[in-house]
Structure 1
Amino acid sequence: FAEHCTTTSTGFKVLPPFIRIIQGDGVSYETLATILQAMMDANYAAENLAFGSGGALLQKLNRDTQKCAFKCSEITKADGTSTFVYKDPITDKGKQSKMGKLSLERDPAGNIVTVTEGKGDPAKDMLVEVFKNGVLLIDQKFEDIRARAKC
């Protein structure tokens, strides 16, 4: 794509319009200047960047505050074979992710629990398939999601 790059009037490189850099991890008021300076030092225009941020700009909350993250847990290939996918960092066992096909069920006490490694009961699974192979199966309305959250 190098042949599609341009240069600003001040000499900074601009990536083609179909390529941009999204920086969302570690973005705060304090880090914005550092990130922009790094772009400047590398002779790239700021217009190549799009910034995103979770709670850092508002309340310094992030996914670790509630130990919440969305991750791939299993890959099923076209031939039907599956492979568990998980994270198991040696530096923080608390960040180990769940693996295999997941199921969300109620235990005998009525608590909602995640069953891993495909060991769940499909009849009890509360999860609903919304996307499959890039196809939207259920077009959910925000009002419906909000109503379910109240129950």
Structure 2
Amino acid sequence: MLYNWQHKGSFCFGELSPIEKGQTWRLATYSLLHANVNCYSLNSVGPTVENLSGSRRFLAVYLASAISSAATSYWFCKAPAVGASGAIFGLVGSVAVFVMRHRGMIRDAKEDLQHIAQVIFLNMVIGLMSRGIDNWDHLGGSLGGAAVSWLVGPA
């Protein structure tokens, strides 16, 4: 598998992982690979984030979420990882930050935040109940997207 980057020292019977061999580019590029419903999810939340923040900030949020999700997955999950779901969770975190920062301008801000929390919670539960879903990746992406959105803000 291209992105088999198991955690420190456990890669292939004690050999160094690709990340430990200096292939740090894998932390950003693995999020360009999609599995399952990632393309649908990206198409659902991506345009909203781009409309709220502009193309450059969207790209900054997506890439920062991708890197933070990959790093979190690398450090806390021993299974191979692939997919854009962590970066997509970062986009959801970005929307949550936007709604929190602009509560006064949004009619149903409390309901929107509750809906976002429900979506994240439901996806985390599904991840706990299913094999092959990396919740560390999702958590890292959410936190990374929220942090970058808090720092760079909307357009």
TM-score (norm 2): 0.22
Which structure would you say has the larger RCO, counting Cα contacts within 8 Å and 6 or more residues apart? 2
TM-score (norm 1): 0.23
The structure whose Rg is larger is 1
Which one has a larger percent strand, Structure 1 or Structure 2?
1
Which one has a larger percent helix, Structure 1 or Structure 2?
2
